[in-house]
Structure 1
Amino acid sequence: MTRDEFLAALASEGFKEIVTVTREPNQSLDTHAHPFEAKALILAGELSIRAGEAEQRYQPGDVFHLPANESHAERYGPAGVTYLVGRK
């Protein structure tokens, strides 16, 4: 998915807060949850998200979606990760 397609999708789905997030290489965040729904497009690098027993890896062009209050852990690849995220 391109950046423009993603931004159009966010707008059509009611995501009003849009930010770019960059995380450092080979770092991680332990299990946590956000009080908002998040939908993100990976711009560069790599991100793995573990929710429950399942872990999914995301690379540039991939989109991930997390419902509000879903517990998950994050792990960033050797080049870190940058993603564009809509929150609501």
Structure 2
Amino acid sequence: MTPEQFADELAREGFEPAVTVTREAGGMLGDHTHPFEAKALILSGDIRIATATSERVYQAGDVFHLAAEEPHSEFYGMLGVQYLVGRKTPAAA
């Protein structure tokens, strides 16, 4: 999937326009949540995401998807990681 195709998919699904995120080699972000749903396309490097139910390494071309408020940890590969991410804030109840 190209970045352009991914941006089109995000728009169709109601996500905000994608932003590029770059994380440092060998870094990590411990347990945390986001107040928004996130869907990301890995552009380069890799990221390991651990949730309560799974742990997976995502590499260039892979897409990861996290629900709003889903607890997770992030671990960045030896070359770091760069990804395009779209965010969608849940509708107010």
TMscore range, shorter length: over 0.9
Q: 2:70 is aligned with what amino acid?
A: E
SS of structure 2 residue aligned to 1:22: strand
What's the secondary structure of 2:31's corresponding residue? strand
Q: Deviations over 1:22-60 (max 9, x none)?
A: 000001110000000000000000000000142110000
TM-score, normalisation: structure 1: 0.96
Q: Structure 1: which 4+ aligned runs deviate by more than 6 Å?
A: none
**5+ long unaligned stretches in structure 2:** 89-93
CA RMSD of aligned residues (A): 0.8
User: What residue number does 1:75 align with?
Assistant: 75
Number of positions where the alignment pairs a residue of Structure 1 with one of Structure 2: 88
Are 2:10 and 1:10 equivalent residues in the alignment?
yes
Instruction: Return the letter of the residue paired with 2:81.
Output: V
- What is the TM-score with the length of structure 2 in the denominator? 0.91
Distance 2:17 2:32 in 1: 20
- 1:52 matched to 2:52? The reply is yes
- Distance in 2, matches of 1:75 and 1:46, equals 9
Q: CA, structure 1 residues 31+8, in 2 after alignment: closer, same or farther (shift >3 Å)?
A: same
Superposed displacement of residue 16, structure 1: 1.6
Q: Whose Rg is larger?
A: 2
Q: Residue 24 of structure 1 aligns to which amino acid in structure 2? A: E
Cα deviation for residue 5 of structure 1 reads: 1.1
